[in-house]
Amino acid sequence: MSTWHALYYPIKEGSEEIVKELFRNSGRPNFEITGPDGQVVGKLLATMAFVGTGVAIRVIEVEGPLPVVAAHMSRQPEVREFERQLEEHLTEGRDMVTPEGARAFFQKAGMENVLNRRAPGAAAA
């Protein structure tokens, strides 16, 4: 079963258009999440990004435990490059280079999904 998670990025006001482009142009990470033994332990299923005044939100749908997802993301070159470019537009610094730093960021910036309601018969997007 998949779960949805959101990440909150406080961004500097005035950088919204740049941040929108960074999200739009970010590369695609490996969708299969592997454990230390190389076995597939989860998948990245979907990503959405929202940018408003002073804030960006990334919403991800995943299969697998969130700490493993965070560690996986920290190892992806596309994610590292996106996070490197995004850094100067954030109001707070964070470490997305190491698995431990990524997990800490996910814990601090993570938002819990409390509702995912669909109309009867509506397919998942």
Tens of pLDDT, residue by residue over 87-122, are: 999 998 887 777 787 778 878 888 888 888 889 988
Provide the pLDDT confidence category of residue 21 given band limits of 50, 70 and 90.
very high
pTM: 0.82
Closest CA to 110 of 11, 2, 7, 4: 7
Reported as a single tens digit per residue, the pLDDT across 35-44 is 788 889 999 9
Would you state the torsion angle of the CA atoms of residues 103, 105, 108, 109, taken in this order, to the nearest 10 degrees?
-120
d(CA 70, CA 104): 9
Quick check: 28 and 77 in contact, CB under 8 A?
Answer: no
**Averaged pLDDT for residues 24-51:** 91
Domains of the chain: 3-112 (3.30.70.100)
Residue 79 has pLDDT above 80, yes or no: yes
